[in-house]
Amino acid sequence: MDIVLTGTGSPLPDANRAGPSSLVKAGDTHILVDAGRGVVMRMAGAGSMPHRLAGVLITHLHSDHICDLNDVITMNWVMTQGNGTLKIYGPPGIAEFVKRQMHALELDVGYRIAHHEPLTEGPRVDVTELEPGDSFDLNDVHITTAATMHAPVHPTIGFRFEHEGSTAALVGDTIPCDGVDELAANADVYVQTVIRRNIVEQIPNVMLQDILDYHSGVVEAAQSATRAGAKRLALTHMVPAPTPEQYPEWIAIAAAHYDGEVIIGDDLTTITV
């Protein structure tokens, strides 16, 4: 099973980092987690496309994690020539969000149906709203969920993937909590969005200061990885995004609290488990 960090950015635009998303590839089963800006381009770079997706999983409804879901829906529809159904899973609220996306696409859908004979109806989506603790299968990948903590965003959920004895935890935006520990327990890789708390604290911007209370810092992610017994820790959605020259500093901070391998995610970083 491969975990491809298709988007390692944050809400802050970055020429080198697409918005938050990850792609799970287990044989022929491809699963997208979140759909931030540029996700379809990064999927192409990862050797996938929307029509190959077994499902799209959404951790929460912050705009940076869902702003390109409409592109995934449209490209799935076009690439399957109207014959595919895109499965979308997420917390309560995802059904209404998708419904509104479909309304936003109505004019485009009409134009394409008028122009392309194979397209006779709009995109097909199958939306499932999840509660923490729900589990399900997408082909031969077993997925479990747990509650995370990203208040005032509520509910938020993380995901654990199991395939042929390999496990990966992708928990989204959260502070340390029981749900993270549950999902990451003995995982082959635990993927955590992080901030550099000591840097953010020094930035004189009120809205940036606000992110301190609902994101894990590098230290906290490392402590969670140690507590859960995760074999590898991958950092993504880093704020502020480090340059490659700064990667050793970030790794050293995590290594002071965690003995396993620490991976700094670039777009298209691939972790095989």
The catalytic position among 34, 64, 173, 267 is 64
* Chain centroid, CA 153 distance in Å: 16
Other residues' Cβ atoms within 10 Å of the Cβ of residue 149? 18
64 catalytic? Reply is yes
- Looking at the chain, list the stretches that DSSP marks H as alpha helix, in order from N- to C-terminal side: 39-45, 63-66, 69-79, 94-104, 106-115, 178-184, 197-200, 206-210, 218-228, 247-255
Bridge partners of residue 160, in order along the sequence: 144, 169
Which is nearest to 14 in space by CA: 240, 249, 192? 240
Q: Are 234 and 268 in contact (CB under 8 A)?
A: no
Show which residues are catalytic: 64
